[in-house]
């Protein structure tokens, strides 16, 4: 299915947020993930089902100041 990740269309076989993160080769830690502009706690990623056209935003932790 197609989902949007940081405003780019992505074709994925992933069915959950956890498998999407894996599919995109994102680091397991040091990122936060939002769906439809709402953060999804990491503990819910495995059970969070993807759906067609879903808008996902991945935010990398940053530490500069």
How far is 61 from 45, CA to CA, in rounded Å?
18
Closer residue to other proteins (CB): 13 or 27: 27
Query: Cα dist. 37→5, 56, 65 in Å?
Result: 12, 8, 25
46 near other proteins (CB under 8 A)? no
Q: Is residue 25 close enough to count as binding other proteins by CB under 8 A?
A: no
* Closer residue to other proteins in complex, CB, 8/13: 8
38: exposed, middle or buried (C-beta count within 10 Å: 0-12, 13-18, 19+)? exposed
Query: In the set 11, 25, 52, 64, which binds other proteins (CB under 8 A)?
Result: 64
Interacting residue ranges for other proteins, rule: CB under 8 A: 6-7, 29-30, 32, 34, 37-39, 41-42, 57, 59-65
């Amino acid at each position: 299915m197609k989902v949007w990740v940081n405003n780019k269309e992505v074709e994925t076989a992933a069915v959950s947020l956890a498998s999407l993160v894996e599919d995109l080769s994102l680091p397991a830690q040091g990122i936060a993930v939002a769906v439809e502009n709402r953060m999804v706690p990491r503990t819910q990623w495995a059970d969070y089902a993807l759906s067609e056209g879903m808008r996902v935003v991945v935010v990398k932790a940053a530490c500069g100041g």
